[in-house]
Structure 1
Amino acid sequence: MTAPANDARVLICDCDGVLIDSETIAADVLVRELEARWPGVAARPIVLPLLGLRTERVLDCASARVGRALADSDIEAIRRSVEAAAVQAPIVDGIDAALARIDLTIACASNSRRHYVDAALRRTGLKRFFGERLFCADGVARPKPAPDVYLAAAQALGVAPSQCLVVEDSATGVTAASAAGMTVLGFVGGGHASPRQVDALRAIGARRVFDDMRELPGLVSR
């Protein structure tokens, strides 16, 4: 087991893109659903920069960008389609072995809804690392990039934010964890990652950026 050499007592992982390699799947569903509703619109360049936000927020931003509204029923239908596809995604390569080597309390803080996170972790077998330490956007007033979900996790776990080490894959998540006063590691090894993401995550506060989960135990121990 890898023990931390720093003050960290808790490792908090985002779900989509860190535990579950679901962001590419989610993006594909969003693009398909939007292009079906908005003929002539190329949705992918609009959607990709918004990954990490809640699905509802992605759709709001996309609507504003193209000047086309979505009915509430469309938003709910798209959200359900995204969840149904993403919950079947594989785990991020190496995450199970990495978590097994880390001698910290491990929690999850996600911009997704709790029922989805719980289902995804149960299906993949990762739930054993987290128990009920799942903190999700539907349990706080403001989703990421606000720090609420991270502050709620620290409070529930009885630790100071400065004692939390976070793994995030998006600018939205890094912004949230940094605003909460936590140390952040940026992960860019998911199927949706791009070269620009490395610089972006560093620029907004990630202490280190890495692309292979086999590195995580060593990063935790530093």
Structure 2
Amino acid sequence: MNGNPGGTIAEDILMICDCDGVLIDSEAIAEHIIADRLKALWPRSDVSDTLRPLLGMRTQPLLERVAAELSCPIDADAIASIDAAVRMGAVQAPMIEGVNDALGAIALRKACASNSNADYVYSALTRTGLIGHFGERVFTADKVPNPKPAPDVYLAAARNLGVAPKHCVVVEDSVTGTRAAVAAGMTVLGFAGAKHIPGDQVHKLLAAGASIVFERMAQLPSLVDSFIIQCTAQKRNVNTNRDFA
């Protein structure tokens, strides 16, 4: 697969990848750390079930949401401690299996749009070598007014790179991120192949607005090719309509 029928980069189509759970297999580490810390604070059995659907949010609002849903107390020091532990653990996470080859087979400009901070994302992408696919096209929640599930980080990527949202295809593993990309007016390919993904995630991603859900990165180039063909057909139809206007 070379990403489009002509084999050249389509400058007016953009592929945007989430980082954690799509490029870096760090969400499983984050879930384990957060669950262990919260279970130590609150001796109850429903922590993991409450936590898992919220993965993809930034750590502070995630912890506050879990605390609220379980009616359990959590203070600022505990939040800061857990956030630091998650950052430290995620720093050594490996890349998602097959993602480097998949990205290399797709001839589109690629951006990364993450709910994490810029320093972490650049560090993770540089450490794994994935930065070569993105360069400076990295957009993070600490650089926009509102994190996912708000669409801000995705809209920032499209705006800065001069691509209409409808011509952006997003790869997301979380409900939070999927909702953000859908709110931005983008097409979402849901990834359900990371280690942290629960068995019902396929249905949750589809319910959140993903167009399709896949489980192996080897499937990604052909899915992106289908999106490119669809975009090209839409543009051709628009131009044809203009000719007859």
TM-score bucket of the superposed structures, by smaller chain? over 0.9
CA distance, structure 2, for counterparts of residue 215 and residue 206 of structure 1: 15
Alpha-carbon offset, residue 13 of structure 1: 0.2
Please give the alpha-carbon distance, in whole angstroms, between the structure 2 residues aligned to 1:199 and 1:8. 31
**Does 1:201 pair with 2:205?**
yes
Aligned to 1:4: 4
Tell me the equivalent position of 1:43.
47
2:241 is aligned to none
Q: For residue 195 of structure 1, give the secondary structure of its aligned residue in structure 2.
A: coil
Q: Which residue of 2 aligns with 1:122?
A: 126
Distance change (3 Å), C-alpha of 1:101 and 1:85: same
Cα deviation digits, residues 115-169 of structure 1 (max 9, x gap): 1111111111111111111111111111111111100110111111111110001
Residues 1:14 and 2:18 are matched in the alignment: yes
- SS of 1:65's partner is helix
Deviation at 1:35, TM superposition (A): 1.7
Q: Deviation string for 1:149-203 (max 9, x for gaps)? A: 1001101111111111100011111111011011110000000112311111112
| CA drift at 1:57 | 1.2
Cα offset, 1:212, TM superposition: 0.3
SS at the partner of 1:221? helix
Residue of 103, 107, 112 corresponding to 1:103: 107
For residue 216 of structure 2, the aligned residue among 181, 187, 212 is 212
Alpha-carbon distance between aligned partners in 1 of 2:3 and 2:203, rounded to the nearest angstrom: 28
Residue of structure 2 in register with 1:156 after alignment = 160
CA distance in structure 2 between the aligned counterparts of 1:16 and 1:131, rounded to whole angstroms: 17
Structure-1 residue corresponding to 2:58: 54
Is the CA contact (8 Å cut-off) linking 1:107 and 1:130 kept in structure 2?
yes
Aligned equivalent of 1:72, options 72, 76, 89:
76
How far apart in 2 are the matches of 1:194 and 1:33? Answer: 20
SS state of the match for residue 167, structure 1?
A: strand
Which residue of the other structure, out of 185, 188, 206, is the alignment partner of 2:189? 185
Amino acid at match of 1:207: S
Deviates more, 1:40-49 or 1:62-71: 40-49
SS of 1:135's equivalent in the other structure is strand
Unpaired stretches in structure 1, ≥5 consecutive residues:
none
Distance in 1, matches of 2:164 and 2:59, equals 30
Match of 1:112 in 2: 116
What secondary structure sits across from 1:49 in the alignment? helix
Cα offset, 1:66, TM superposition: 2.3
CA contact (8 A) 2:11 2:109 kept: no
Q: Which has the greater radius of gyration?
A: 2
Q: Tell me if structure 2 keeps the 8 A contact 1:2–1:218.
A: no
CA RMSD of aligned residues (A): 1.6
State whether residues 53 and 175 of structure 2, in contact with CA within 8 Å, keep that contact through their aligned partners in structure 1: no
Any idea what the Cα deviations from partners look like across 1:72-96, whole Å, max 9, x if unmatched? 1211111111011012111110000
What is the TM-score of this pair, normalised by structure 1?
0.95
* DSSP-derived class of the 2:106 partner: coil
What are structure 2's unaligned runs of at least 5 residues? Answer: 227-245
Does the 8 Å CA contact 2:14/2:169 hold for their aligned counterparts?
yes
1:8, CA displacement in angstroms? Answer: 6.3
Range that drifts further, 68-77 or 156-165: 68-77
How far the C-alpha of 1:69 sits from its partner, in A, is: 2.2
